[in-house]
Amino acid sequence: MGATSIHVQAVKPGSEIHNFREKELDYVRPELSHLNESWVGDSISHRLESAKQRYFDTVGQKMQTKAAPIREGVIVIKQET
């Protein structure tokens, strides 16, 4: 069975631009980009505002500046896995 991996980290401000390949990246192999898959249910900015509002409604104070309520993950799965 082949190996798989996952890397999860806090979302950064430029994550959507990076994820949708809206800027050229020197480490991306464009001939393989058509094989990438992604699922998007909502924009990161909209999801963050929603999380901040829920936090305020629940706790009664603003979310801390350094809070990272949204995380994203990259999963590498080979076809033979």
Ordered by start, the domain boundaries in the chain are 5-76
Q: List, in sequence order, every residue forming a beta bridge with 8; answer none if it has no partner.
A: 73
Q: Which amino acid does the sequence have at 19? A: N
Two structure tokens written together for 18: 């990076």
How far does the chain reach from its first CA to its final CA, in angstroms?
6
Q: What is the pTM of this model?
A: 0.65
* Cα–Cα dist 5/76, whole Å: 5
* Cα–Cα dist 73/54, whole Å: 23
| Nearest CA among 71, 9, 79, 3 for reference residue 37 | 79
pLDDT (tens, 9 = 90+) of the chain, 81 residues, equals 567 888 899 988 888 888 777 788 888 888 888 887 777 888 888 999 999 999 999 999 999 999 999 988 888 877 776
For 9, the 3-state DSSP assignment is strand
